[in-house]
Structure 1
Amino acid sequence: MRRTIFDTEDLIALRDVARRFATERVAPGYRARETTKSFGADLVREMGALGLIAPELPEAYGGAGASVLCSGVIVEEIARADFNVAYVPMLASLTGQVLAKHAPPALAQEWLPRLTAGEIVLSIALTEPRGGSDAANLGLRMERDGDHFVLNGEKTSISAADQAAACVVFARTGRPEDRARGISAVLVPMDAPGVSTTRFTDMGEHAVGRGSIFFDDVRVPVENLIGEENRGFVQVMQGFDFSRALIGLQCLGVARQSLDETWAHVRERTAFGKPLAAFQGVSHQLAALDTQVEAARLLAMNALWLKDQDLPHTAEAAMSKWWPPLLAFETIHCCLLMHGHAGYSDALPFEQRLRDVLGLQIGDGTANIMKTIVARERAGRTAVG
């Protein structure tokens, strides 16, 4: 196992647990979950029982009060076995942090222990048909009516929309011209009257699923407000730095697995009387990608380490969101080609991995948005716009 500057004995022990679970319980069902289009409720509960879901949350909420590096290690190891199942701990860390930091304590206590136990999945509902990258351009309305909020509108491209027990929903409570300063966040149970969902037919990530959520006079108690009214967007979006670094490791986990399998293949497969690895056109391509994957992994781990130290990490997190998804796609593509005609078939997992990882070049922030964030951090928002 490769060691890094971030590895401690506790982190290595956690990695062993996560890798064993990933190898024995997650990997065998990767192809099957493409058909069932579900994480698998029993598998998620097993993950929770092992403490592999949001261990950075306080013990009061079912976590272990661990470092966020622990969550990075878990996401990376699960992704080696199944890119899609790795979405469960990544999403739980994002939504868990949002509730733990900004929700009323009673609301957090109601939902978070069930999340960390793997009994439920919570999702994030931000994107709308009118805007994806322009995240503050929201049309879904949330109006106060006594001791309830009433929601009307649509969210789209929402991951795990039909598997989530509840969603953190961003809605406009102020004027449209207020942009981000007029948006609030609220936790909406998906079984609330007036909530309905659809599922898209996508190229990949079938086990995660993506779709629209429709809100038709959906009533939610005011106690479900997350953060301050009209400031939920500004407050909650700060947690996305964490998830961006985790997404980087999710993509790199499947890239690393593909590289390890391909190094073994080119060592054993022969052509013209020599192992494929003896041809520099083969080995140098893999060596270059291996170098970049290791560098990108250190970048993402550093972003998490900075968060653990309560230091600024917005730029590093954005870098971890735009580069690793692209690099993972390029790596898996190369590994597929290295396996020749077999790699192009569904007898090997590369074609599914390629389709799965492509989605994160779009979802949760495109590369150009991430680069704009980096530029703002380096040159200043006034200069960049």
Structure 2
Amino acid sequence: MDFSLSDEHADLKAAVASIVKPYGGAYYAEHSKNREPCDEVWQALGEAGLIGVNIPEAFGGGGAGMLELALVAEESAAQGVPLLLILVSAAISAEVITEFGTDDQRQAWLPGLADGTSKMAFAITEPDAGSNTHLISTTARRDGDDWVLSGSKYYISGVDESDAVLVVARTGRKDDGKPLMSLFIVPVGTPGLDKTRIEMDVMLPEKQYTLFFDDVRVGADALVGEEGKGFEQVFHGLNPERITGAALCIGIARFALTQASKYASEREVWGAPLGTHQGLAHPLAKASMETELAALMMRKAAWLHDQGLPAGEASNTAKYAAAEAALAAIDAAIQTMGGNGLAQEYGLLPYWGLARLLRIAPVSREMILNYIAQHSLGLPKSY
């Protein structure tokens, strides 16, 4: 086992840092406050070939793997600009299309996803289904050579920034009554596809939407992979989503700890820097250790995925640990900085909002605990 950072990975992180650092926390805080996408950072990373680092070279990508994409997500967040759509566009959508898409679909979508000129949202969650994907009611039915989609999706990130949505829809049922799911690429702007923004109190650059599919007609070429195999196919993308979600949280934790450590070293009270007081230093140290532990599990999960090995347990564990670490780091940073931790000048609250969201999504901590109890410990299924 080699835990050292390879020269290639060090160069990758340095490249990301050199692009993102000039924007930094003030840029992210302003865009979060105004609910404006961080387009400049996304485009700069895309032009440098970093957004599509996991996409095959034949389609304009970097030809690397999930570990490299996770390092891009982590380092961008560590420099103050976490990019939520890396989870759904670069991780889920690109991975699924690369693995299961037709040659035409790969040629049509992967080059834009690779260079950052295109984004793709992902729609699986529904108002009446939540974590229970077996209750998905959005349907896709054949009509001649076309497919017609009907239903709704809930809390879909970044639709306003995306050119298309990768949609999970029910296309039939098995003999036991369980649903058969399929995946479809639906361009934004297709007649019958409408979106309604969900107003959020949390400050995020990315917006959330409810999508309505009112007999949305797409061609046969919209189907990704094999009809009825959507569940199996989408899980090839859900592990990358958890891995990159963990990477974002790890980066957020690193950013918060860096800001708090700097503040605690420079700010003096009672004649000594804040950092000399163990009541403040120990929570920061604890959060730092928890962040490093989460980072190890994230890298293991990414490695397993890249090797084609089962990565579900590691991916869920990494996502759980990283979200907890990020929230602990931000809370310790705010406590260290006192009132300034809540001041706009220091801009920590937007990171708390994203970390808190990532404790819930893309899979809640409770569902992760259910997964580990059942699959790792062999306990009876509880739901």
Once the 2 structures are TM-superposed, how far is the Cα of residue 353 of structure 1 from its aligned partner? 1.3
Classify 1:90/1:19 alpha carbon distance in 2 versus 1 (closer, same or farther; 3 Å): farther
Higher mean alpha-carbon deviation, 140-149 vs 261-270, is at: 261-270
Q: Specify the alignment match of 2:256 in structure 1.
A: 258
Q: How many residues in Structure 1 have an aligned counterpart in Structure 2? A: 382
Aligned partner of 1:170 among 168, 180, 200: 168
Identity level (%): 28
Aligned partner of 1:333 among 331, 334, 356: 331
Give CA-to-partner distance per residue, 1:250-298, whole Å, 9 cap, x none.
0110111111111121122111112212211111111111111111111
Q: Specify the alignment match of 1:307 in structure 2.
A: 305
SS of 1:152's equivalent in the other structure is strand
RMSD over aligned Cα, in angstroms? 2.0
* CA distance in structure 2 between the partners assigned to 1:151 and 1:102 by the alignment: 20
In the alignment, is residue 374 of structure 1 matched against residue 372 of structure 2? yes
* CA distance in structure 1 between the partners assigned to 2:3 and 2:334 by the alignment: 31
Q: How does 1:275-286 map to 2 (within 5 A)?
A: 275-286=273-284
Q: Specify the alignment match of 1:117 in structure 2.
A: 115
Higher mean alpha-carbon deviation, 121-130 vs 205-214, is at: 205-214
Q: How does 1:1-385 map to 2 (within 5 A)?
A: 5-25=3-23, 27-88=25-86, 91-175=89-173, 181-204=179-202, 206-380=204-378
- Given that 1:84 and 1:205 are in contact with CA atoms closer than 8 Å, whether structure 2 keeps it comes out as no
Structure 2 alignment gaps of length 5 or more: none
Classify 1:76/1:95 alpha carbon distance in 2 versus 1 (closer, same or farther; 3 Å): same
- Given that 1:53 and 1:93 are in contact with CA atoms closer than 8 Å, whether structure 2 keeps it comes out as no
User: What amino acid does structure 2 have at the position aligned with 1:144?
Assistant: R
* CA distance in structure 2 between the partners assigned to 1:163 and 1:177 by the alignment: 40
Classify 1:286/1:311 alpha carbon distance in 2 versus 1 (closer, same or farther; 3 Å): same
Once the 2 structures are TM-superposed, how far is the Cα of residue 35 of structure 1 from its aligned partner? 4.1
User: What amino acid does structure 2 have at the position aligned with 1:23?
Assistant: K
Once the 2 structures are TM-superposed, how far is the Cα of residue 104 of structure 1 from its aligned partner? 1.3
- Given that 1:136 and 1:179 are in contact with CA atoms closer than 8 Å, whether structure 2 keeps it comes out as no
* CA distance in structure 2 between the partners assigned to 1:113 and 1:335 by the alignment: 40
* CA distance in structure 1 between the partners assigned to 2:278 and 2:177 by the alignment: 54
Once the 2 structures are TM-superposed, how far is the Cα of residue 178 of structure 1 from its aligned partner? 5.7
- Given that 1:114 and 1:120 are in contact with CA atoms closer than 8 Å, whether structure 2 keeps it comes out as yes
* CA distance in structure 2 between the partners assigned to 1:121 and 1:26 by the alignment: 22
* CA distance in structure 2 between the partners assigned to 1:236 and 1:142 by the alignment: 16
Once the 2 structures are TM-superposed, how far is the Cα of residue 357 of structure 1 from its aligned partner? 1.5
**TM-score, length of structure 2 as denominator length:** 0.94
- Given that 2:24 and 2:81 are in contact with CA atoms closer than 8 Å, whether structure 1 keeps it comes out as no
- Given that 1:90 and 1:246 are in contact with CA atoms closer than 8 Å, whether structure 2 keeps it comes out as no
User: What amino acid does structure 2 have at the position aligned with 1:348?
Assistant: Y
Give CA-to-partner distance per residue, 1:48-83, whole Å, 9 cap, x none.
110111312111121121132111110001112345
Classify 1:26/1:112 alpha carbon distance in 2 versus 1 (closer, same or farther; 3 Å): farther
SS of 2:185's equivalent in the other structure is strand
User: What amino acid does structure 2 have at the position aligned with 1:47?
Assistant: L
* CA distance in structure 2 between the partners assigned to 1:178 and 1:205 by the alignment: 44
Give CA-to-partner distance per residue, 1:236-262, whole Å, 9 cap, x none.
223211221111110110111111111
**TM-score, length of structure 1 as denominator length:** 0.93
- Given that 2:181 and 2:227 are in contact with CA atoms closer than 8 Å, whether structure 1 keeps it comes out as yes
Once the 2 structures are TM-superposed, how far is the Cα of residue 382 of structure 1 from its aligned partner? 6.3
Classify 1:86/1:127 alpha carbon distance in 2 versus 1 (closer, same or farther; 3 Å): closer
Once the 2 structures are TM-superposed, how far is the Cα of residue 84 of structure 1 from its aligned partner? 4.3
* CA distance in structure 2 between the partners assigned to 1:211 and 1:76 by the alignment: 25
